[in-house]
Amino acid sequence: MLKGAISIDIDTLNTHFKGQGLKKENYDFSDFRQGIDNFLKLLAEFKIKATFFIVGRDLLFPQNVEIVQKIIKDGHEVANHSMNHIQGFRLLGEKEKGEEIREGEMIILEKTKKKPVGFRAPGWNIDDKVFELLKLRNYLYDSSVFPSYFNPALKFLHFTSMANRSGADRTTLGEMKYSFSPAAPYLFPGENGKKLVEFPISVTPVIRLPFFATFSLKTGLKLFNVSYNLMKFWRRPIIFEFHLFDFIDFEKPEFKDQIPSKSERGVYVPQSIHTPFNKKWDLFHKIISIMAKDYKFETMENLAKDYLKRYDPAA
């Protein structure tokens, strides 16, 4: 079977809508726990082990720790999604980047008793310096590069949809050159034998069409099937990404008044918030059932170890 990994970015309402209309006095991280719990149920049905990219700050709240410990107990991986999920991550200074990585790592280690070995930058907003910082901290892999030819258009859409945010918050997808980075996993060489595997977010061969859950929710199952068949024909490893909102039923009472209206100007409201839960569940259930017939999905930690053994004789 072909190999791949399924991951999820745990970006909460509190993270996504900072300063954009979220009524924090009513916020209790219901989305954090409900989304993770629903995703765990789907993974258990297909006997898949996945990777959860956790924002360190969310583990400062005791009510979130138990379900993150359950992730580990169920055999999944917890990876580092930075401490504070700063959207303009690549624009931070070197020291600030290092602190965001280190602090997220330390709290994950404290709460799960396991050091994270993988990293994903907020909004895939990364630059080359981050790879060196990760190697210094002995990370096995990064998964922040989005190698799509559609990046200029996606960057423009993000910039215009975030009109009421600061300039740094309106940036996304890292440096433009990553549009032309390899679309399959690759190695970053390093000094003293330290190497880092990059697992780019999957895009289709040749035309590099986005291939992740949010895009499939927007474009539907037919285009997913076309893209998937291209991935399978080219025997590409699949790094398929979900987000927390994909597994939350926002029609439940606890989310009343927790999100801005999608008609509010200058605020990006993901489609997964306004899509009925049953529709999301049905689509993502079908997508995983299709991929699981041809791909063996593992944690990204295990994939990185396997990749290093096969492609780096010194590993």
Task: Render pLDDT for 87-114 as a digit per residue (tens, 0 to 9).
Answer: 999 999 999 999 999 999 999 999 999 9
User: Residue 196: which pLDDT band, with cuts at 50, 70 and 90?
Assistant: very high
State the pLDDT at residue 230.
97
User: Residue 261: which pLDDT band, with cuts at 50, 70 and 90?
Assistant: low
pLDDT at 228 over 60: yes
Q: How far apart are CA 175 and CA 145, in angstroms?
A: 9
Regarding predicted confidence, which is higher, 61 or 310?
61
pLDDT at 117 over 80: yes
Q: Is 133 within 8 Å of 94 (Cβ atoms)?
A: yes
Q: Is 35 within 8 Å of 247 (Cβ atoms)?
A: yes
User: Residue 127: which pLDDT band, with cuts at 50, 70 and 90?
Assistant: very high
Regarding predicted confidence, which is higher, 149 or 315?
149
State the pLDDT at residue 17.
72
State the pLDDT at residue 10.
97
State the pLDDT at residue 301.
98
State the pLDDT at residue 25.
60
Going from the N-terminus, what domains does the chain have, and what CATH number goes with each?
Answer: 2-311 (3.20.20.370)
Q: How far is CA 192 from the centre of its chain?
A: 30
> Structure tokens of 266?
């200058």
Q: Tokens 């997508």 sit at which residue?
A: 287
Kindly write down the DSSP assignment for every residue of the chain, as one continuous string.
-EEEEEEEEE--HHHHTTTTT--GGG--SHHHHHHHHHHHHHHHHHT---EEEE-GGGGGSHHHHHHHHHHHHTT-EEEE--SS--TTGGGS-HHHHHHHHHHHHHHHHHHHSS---EE--GGG---HHHHHHHHHTT--EE------TTHHHHHHHHHHHTTTS-TGGG--SS-GGGGGS-SS-EEE--GGG--EEE-PPPB-TTT--B-SHHHHHHH-HHHHHHHHHHHHHTT--EEEEEEGGGG--TTSGGGTT-S--TTSTT----HHHHS-HHHHHHHHHHHHHHHTTTEEE--HHHHHHHHHHHH-TT-
> Structure tokens of 313?
């004789």
User: Residue 256: which pLDDT band, with cuts at 50, 70 and 90?
Assistant: confident
State the pLDDT at residue 159.
72
Percentage of the chain beyond pLDDT 70 is 90
Question: What does pLDDT average to over the chain?
Answer: 90
State the pLDDT at residue 314.
57
User: Residue 22: which pLDDT band, with cuts at 50, 70 and 90?
Assistant: low
State the pLDDT at residue 262.
60
Q: How far apart are CA 140 and CA 306, in angstroms?
A: 11
Percentage of the chain beyond pLDDT 90 is 74
